[in-house]
């Protein structure tokens, strides 16, 4: 089976890693992974996954405009549209997976709709699948948004896969018209990377601080550093991880903050972040999908500070907080955050996986195989 996966990250990197985890689970098939954001430096895909890099398009932190590094946005869009069509025709996939679209990424319809039209007109024999995370962000006109989604989903798609456990989050929590979805749809469980047990350092407790891609969240990193300085213990260490897309000025600011405390170290983005969590005693982070799933997999105590631009991270954080998986940071004031850090460090180890379905990647692979067999 030939499977083409389209993944476009625009601000963070969670979408990329979730889609790539699904690609990894499709190890007995040919997978073509098409990515349209800034490439993640150093990442090596599994041997069965071929990658195609579109000229990168990203969004600003306000999600208002597209950004490119050199060149003209319209020229880049034209090049991408042509490359997408050529890639699709050459690979001739049995299944095309669009990550998030049409529930999101409407700005990228210019390169996706020509492929969907080709399939609908019978020119290509391909099944179209939407790969959807657990929570959708709110829209200014929710009614018009949902009607627009259904106008594309129902006539063009063959299957909707929701990467959530309905015991925690259901699609109709953030999409009112779920009952109007006419195509088959199913929950896969959460897509979680497997954590390998790591030996913890003797005699000290380690706090890992991160902010995902790094375009946002520098305030959380800075506040965590300031809070840590309030704590005088010599048996604590803080490891701060920069995001791959962090601004140079933000990196310099963080370096200045840690210069007076040798208990704190700053590290570049690492592809082995899950191992860092496995060796740590506490995680401080935002509440993106992948970060929360890594926390769940590693089973360590965690404090999260949801991204405030929309409801997605706050909803996920509050649901996980009710399960006892994370604690939500209410204030970034150093004294308040220092108190929360000490409270968490004195708590017991979390239940690693809880009762949630975390076999999302494997279940997705099985569901795609079932679709192709019909």
- Summarize pLDDT for 239-283 with one digit per residue, the tens: 999 988 888 899 999 999 998 899 999 999 888 899 999 999 999
pLDDT higher than 90, residue 128:
yes
User: Do 134 and 169 meet the contact criterion of CB atoms below 8 Å apart?
Assistant: yes
The mean pLDDT value for 89-100 works out to 97
Task: Enumerate long-range contacts of 182-185, CB under 8 Å, 24 or more apart.
Answer: 182/154, 183/153, 183/154, 183/157, 183/158, 183/159, 184/158, 184/159, 184/160, 185/159, 185/160, 185/161
User: pLDDT tens digits, residue range 6-16?
Assistant: 999 887 788 89
Q: pLDDT band for position 124 (50/70/90)?
A: confident
- Work out the mean pLDDT of the chain and round it to a whole number: 92
Is 353's pLDDT higher than 60? Answer: no
Report the percent of the chain where pLDDT is more than 70: 97
At 344 the pLDDT is 93
Determine the 3-state secondary structure of 235 from DSSP: coil
The burial class, CB within 10 Å (0-12 / 13-18 / 19+), for 151 is exposed
User: What CATH number belongs to 205-345?
Assistant: 3.40.50.2000
pLDDT exceeds 70 at position 354 = no
Give CATH 3.40.50.2000 domain extents, the chain: 2-191+359-373, 205-345
pLDDT attached to residue 90: 97
| Strand ranges, E, within 93-133 | 95-99, 127-132
Tally of CA atoms within 13 A in the half-sphere of 136 that contains its CB: 26
Residue 65 has pLDDT above 80, yes or no: no
> What is the tens place of the pLDDT at every residue in 291-345?
999 998 888 999 999 987 778 999 999 999 998 889 999 999 999 999 999 999 9
From first CA to last CA, the distance across the chain in angstroms is 13
The predicted-structure confidence for 135-184, as pLDDT tens digits, reads as follows 999 999 999 999 999 999 999 999 999 999 999 999 999 999 999 999 99
How confident is the model over 119-136, as a mean pLDDT? Answer: 95
pTM comes to: 0.91
Separation CA 239–CA 186 (nearest Å): 39
The pair of three-digit structure tokens given for residue 285, joined into one six-digit string: 């982070």
Choices 3.50.30.30, 3.30.70.260, 1.10.1040.10, 3.40.50.2000: CATH for 2-191+359-373: 3.40.50.2000
How many degrees, rounded to 5, is the angle at CA 264 between CA 215 and CA 197?
85
pLDDT at 57: 87
Per-residue model confidence (pLDDT) at position 304: 96
Q: CA–CA separation, 168 vs 323, rounded Å?
A: 9
């Amino acid at each position: 089976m030939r499977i083409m996966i389209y993944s476009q990250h625009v601000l963070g990197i969670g979408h990329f890693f979730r889609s790539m985890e699904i690609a990894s689970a499709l190890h007995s098939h040919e997978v073509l992974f098409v990515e349209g954001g800034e490439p993640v430096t150093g990442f090596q895909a599994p041997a069965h996954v071929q990658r195609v890099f579109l000229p990168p398009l990203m969004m600003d932190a306000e999600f208002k405009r597209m950004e490119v590094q050199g060149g003209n946005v319209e020229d880049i869009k034209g090049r991408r549209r042509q490359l997408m069509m050529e890639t699709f025709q050459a690979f001739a996939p049995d299944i095309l997976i669009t990550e998030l679209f049409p529930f999101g990424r409407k700005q990228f319809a210019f390169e996706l709709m020509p492929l969907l039209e080709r399939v609908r007109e019978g020119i290509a024999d391909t099944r179209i699948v939407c790969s959807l995370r657990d929570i959708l962000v709110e829209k200014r006109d929710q009614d018009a948004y949902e009607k627009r989604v259904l106008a594309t989903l129902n006539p063009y798609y063959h299957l909707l896969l929701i990467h959530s456990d309905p015991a925690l989050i259901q699609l109709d929590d953030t999409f009112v018209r779920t009952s109007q979805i006419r195509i088959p749809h199913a929950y896969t469980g959460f897509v979680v990377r497997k954590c390998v047990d790591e030996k913890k350092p003797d005699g000290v407790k380690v706090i890992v601080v991160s902010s995902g891609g790094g375009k946002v969240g520098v305030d959380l990193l800075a506040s965590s550093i300031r809070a840590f300085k309030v704590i005088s213990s010599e048996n604590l260490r803080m490891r701060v991880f920069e995001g791959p897309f962090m601004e140079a000025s933000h990196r310099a600011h963080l370096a200045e903050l840690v210069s007076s405390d040798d208990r704190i170290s700053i590290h570049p983005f690492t592809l082995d972040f899950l191992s860092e969590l496995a060796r740590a005693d506490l995680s401080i982070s935002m509440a993106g999908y992948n970060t929360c799933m890594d926390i769940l997999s590693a089973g360590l105590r965690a404090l999260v500070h949801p991204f405030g631009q929309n409801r997605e991270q706050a909803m996920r954080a509050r649901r996980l907080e009710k399960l006892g998986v994370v604690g939500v940071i209410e204030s970034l004031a150093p004294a308040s955050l220092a108190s929360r850090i000490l409270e968490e460090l004195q708590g017991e180890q979390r239940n690693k996986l809880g009762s949630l379905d975390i076999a999302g990647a494997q279940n997705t692979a099985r569901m795609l195989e079932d679709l192709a067999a019909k």
